[in-house]
Amino acid sequence: MSATTQLNIGLFGFGVVGKGLYDVLQNTPALQASIHKICIKSLDKKRSIAAENFTNIPGEILNNQHINVIVELIDDADAAFDIVKAALQNGKAVVSANKKMIAEHFEELLALQQEFQTPFLYEASCCASMPIIRNLEEYYDNDLLFSFRGIINGSTNFILTKIFQEQLEFEKALLMAQQLGFAESNPQLDIGGFDAANKLSILLAHSFGIIAKPAEFIFTGIKNISLQDALVAKGKKYKIKLVANAQKLADGKLAAFVLPQFVTKHDELYHVENEFNAITTESSFADKHFFKGKGAGAFPTASAVLSDISALRYNYKYEYKKILIQQASVLSNDFYLKVFVSANEIAAINKDDFEWIEEWHNEYHYCWLVGIIHVKKLAEHDWWKLPGVSLIAYPDAVVENIDYKNISKRSLELAGIV
C-alpha cells in the first residue's frame, strides 16, 4: 500500500464500535478511507444509515476484489476468527478489536501473517483509545522492560468507581456500564476477569515475547467484591482496582496475573476512575512511565481502530520482535502473593493453603484475613473464586522469598497452626 492508496473498507459489525468507526470516518475525509460494505448479523434491525450499506453474507466482502481492508468489529470470537483468517488468506489487511479472538488464536494468527505477509493490527483490543501495544512492541527492548501493571478493563473500573464513590450496588453499576456501551455484550467476560486476562495475554506477547493463553496464569474479576470489602479497603485507605500484573522475578522469569488489588493513594492507578484505563511500565533506564486513556466506548475505541487503518498506509506491521528476534521470557508460577480474602463463612476460606496469616477478623456473616499464599495453590484450587469469597491482592503483592522466622506466634495462633 502506498501513501496515496484509497482504503476501501469492508466492515464487520455495526454495534457500539462499528457505528462509532463509521461516524469517525465521516469526519476524517483526509484519510481517504471509506466503508464500502458492512456485514452484520441481522438484516432486520433498524439502522441509522441506508439498508443498501449492509449485507449478512461475509463472502460479499471477503471475496470483493475492490475491498483492500477488513475491519472486524463483531462480538462473536469464533465467527471473527473465521473472518480474519479468510481475509488474511485473501491478502487483505485486517484491523480488529477482538481481544478474545486474538488471545485464543494468537499463534495461528501470527503464522497466518507470516505465511501471507498481510498486516493484522489490533491496537483497540487492549486498552481501546490508549496506544499500548505499539508502545510495548516498538519502544521497550525486552531486556530493559522490568514490569507493567495496569487497569485494562474499562467497564470493571467504571463499576468499581461507582461502588466506591456513590456506594452503588454492583448490579446497578453494571447496568450503567452496559447502557453507556462500556461492557462486553456478554458482561461475564468483564466481571469474571476474562476480558482483562485476554488483554494481558496479548500484552505479554508484545512486551515479553510470551505467548500464553489466560489458562496459563491466574486471573479473576470483580463479581465477588462486596460493599463490605469496599468498606474494609476504605478503612485501610485503599481503593480496589482490577489490575493486570506482569513482573520479572529474580530468576528472570515472569510473574503474571489479573486480580482485584488494593491500591494506595501513592499509586498512579488510585486516581484512574470510571472507564479509563492506565498502565505503568518500569524499565531499567527509563524508570517509570504512566499511560492513561479511555478504555471503552464508541469513539475512544474507534479512534484506535482509525489509527490502525491509518498505519496501514505506511505498511506498518507488528514485527513481533520479542517473539521472533529476541530471547522471550517464560512464565513462572513459583512466587507468593500477599492477599486479602473475605467470605460469608470462615469455612469457605481454605486456611491450609496459606503459608502464613497476618490478620484475621471474624464478624457475623463476614470474615476476612490477610495472608501469604503460594500462587501454585491458587492455580490448583478454586475455592477463592467461588461465590461469596473474594480475593484481593495487596499492594506490592508479589513476594519471592518468605522467611518463616518473621512469622509471629500470634499469626500462627490465629491461623490455628499452634
Looking at residue 407, the DSSP 8-state letter turns out to be -
Beta 239-248 vs 254-263: how paired, if at all? antiparallel
The cell numbers describing 209, all together, are 515475547
Burial group, residue 165, by CB count within 10 angstroms (0-12, 13-18, 19+): exposed
Site for ligand NAP in 83-112 (CB under 6 A): 97-99
Considering the complex, what minimum distance in angstroms separates the CB of residue 303 from ligand NAP? 11
Alpha carbon distance 122, 99 (integer Å): 8
Compute φ and ψ for 341, nearest 5 degrees.
Answer: -130, 130
37-66 positions binding ligand NAP, by CB under 6 A: 39-42, 45
**Among 8, 9, 10, 18, which residue sits at the site for ligand NAP (rule: CB under 6 A)?**
18
Q: Does 200 bind ligand NAP (CB under 6 A)?
A: no
Residue with cell 503460594: 374
Distance CA 264, CA 17 (A): 34
Residue 79 contacts ligand NAP per CB under 6 A: yes
- Please pick, from the candidates 67, 74, 145, 375, the single residue that binds ligand NAP as defined by CB under 6 A: 74
199 is catalytic: yes
Q: Does residue 16 interact with ligand NAP by CB under 6 A? A: yes
384/302 Cα distance (integer angstroms):
37
Residue 407 interacts with ligand NAP (CB under 6 A): yes or no:
no
Instruction: Give the residue among 233, 66, 104 at the shortest CA–CA distance from 85.
Output: 104
Helix ranges restricted to H, 211-297: 227-235
> Which of 199, 292, 294, 385 is labelled catalytic?
199
Identify which of residues 75 and 267 has a Cβ nearer to ligand NAP in the complex. Answer: 75
Grid coordinates given for 353: 493453603
Q: Which of 122, 158, 182, 384 binds ligand NAP (CB under 6 A)?
A: 182
Return the residues of window 140-169 that contact ligand NAP according to CB under 6 A.
none
Question: Taking the complex as a whole, how short is the minimal distance between the CB of residue 197 and ligand NAP, in angstroms?
Answer: 13
Please state the closest distance from residue 133 (CB atom) to ligand NAP, in A: 12
Catalytic residues: 199
Binding site for ligand NAP (CB under 6 A): 12-18, 39-42, 45, 73-76, 79, 97-99, 124, 128, 181-182, 184-185, 296-297, 301
